[in-house]
Amino acid sequence: MLEAKSDKISVVLGTCHGVETDQGSERGNRKVFGVKYAPRGETEEKMLAADAVVVSAGPWSCAAEDWFLGAVQLPMEGVKSTSIVWAKPKNEDVDATALFCGEDDRFGTHLEVYPRPDGTIYICGIGGSDYISTDELKAGAFREECNAKDTRAEAAKNSFQQMSSMYRTDGELDRVQACMRPCPPDAIPYMGAIPGYEGAYINAGHNCWGIAWAPACGKAMTELVMDGQSRSIDLTPFDPSRFTPAAQRGGRGRKKKGMSVGEQW
């Protein structure tokens, strides 16, 4: 979480549990004024004051369905994918060429091989990923620790060793690890305002392109938060409400023509 104070920005590490809101403006929306969170390593809940909140919690962003009391539905699947890193070879240089392989039916892999400047090699495209449901993600599955799948690490190792005699004899794995791809059902990210709330936004669900798209998405979201509208990207296709039935958008309060007009009675 980022906290902006005058000209300074601080990073606050912790787990978000929800948002604090008040009655908001005459437009009938609720207004966000804080984030409820537990600082890292602590259990006691605290509140971080905020006049704008952007939910960017990767696949776990679907928890915001509950933070905004059902005002928006954010179906999400997490694709938990293993990757491996080869240690720097002792007596050889590593060629600075990335390699994208077709499907290797022997091992169920389609390796993407990325040599790094420090001589290690990162490999993903290992196949056999696990699919984690929205409910599991909302409960925080694999959020604190995203463990690798040993059988897939072994498959990637064997597949790569078939291509390199040097790594077959002298290769040493430095690390096996996993991360989670955030996948909305239509493979399109959620980028925009949370319906029925002022000062609440989401930017999540960028599937396998979150690194490449980050600068453009960051710019568009900044424009939306600061100016009320993104000028650099038309965010219409990324509407976070697209899976939310019209009658349900904007919370549980009373509605007139889909617009909140007060508290639930």
Taking CB under 6 A as the rule, which mask of x and - marks residues 157-176 in contact with ligand FAD? --------------------
Stretch that binds ligand FAD, among 23-31, 210-218, 227-235, 255-263 (CB under 6 A): 210-218
Stretch that binds ligand FAD, among 45-53, 160-168, 203-211, 248-256 (CB under 6 A): 203-211
Size of the site for ligand FAD (CB under 6 A): 22
d(Cα 260, Cα 29) in Å, to the nearest integer?
Answer: 6
Question: Among 12, 163, 212, 216, which residue interacts with ligand FAD (rule: CB under 6 A)?
Answer: 212
Quote the tokens at residue 97. Answer: 């060429």
Nearest to 35 by CA among 80, 78, 70, 2: 2
181 touches ligand FAD by CB under 6 A: yes
Residues facing 191 on adjacent strands: 203
38 touches ligand FAD by CB under 6 A: no
Taking CB under 6 A as the rule, which mask of x and - marks residues 77-116 in contact with ligand FAD? ----x-x---------------------------------
The nearer residue to ligand FAD, 30 or 181, going by C-beta atoms, is 181
Nearest to 89 by CA among 186, 166, 201: 166
57 touches ligand FAD by CB under 6 A: yes
Residue 245: CB minimum distance to ligand FAD, A: 25
Quote the tokens at residue 31. Answer: 């207004």
Touching ligand FAD, residues 215-254 (CB under 6 A):
none
d(Cα 232, Cα 219) in Å, to the nearest integer?
Answer: 8
- Of the CA atoms within 13 Å of residue 67, those in its CB half-sphere come to 29
Question: Among 32, 48, 58, 86, which residue interacts with ligand FAD (rule: CB under 6 A)?
Answer: 58
Is residue 19 exposed (0-12), middle (13-18) or buried (19+ Cβ within 10 Å)?
A: buried
209 touches ligand FAD by CB under 6 A: yes
What's 3's DSSP letter? E
Assign 115 to helix, strand or coil: strand
The nearer residue to ligand FAD, 202 or 253, going by C-beta atoms, is 202
With residue 178 as reference, give the H or E element that holds it.
strand 173-183
Quote the tokens at residue 173. Answer: 């794995």
Residue 19: CB minimum distance to ligand FAD, A: 11
How far from 176 is each of 84, 99, 149, CA to CA, in Å? 4, 19, 8
Q: Which residues of this chain interact with ligand FAD, rule CB under 6 A?
A: 15-16, 56-58, 60, 63, 81, 83, 124, 143, 179-182, 204, 206, 208-212
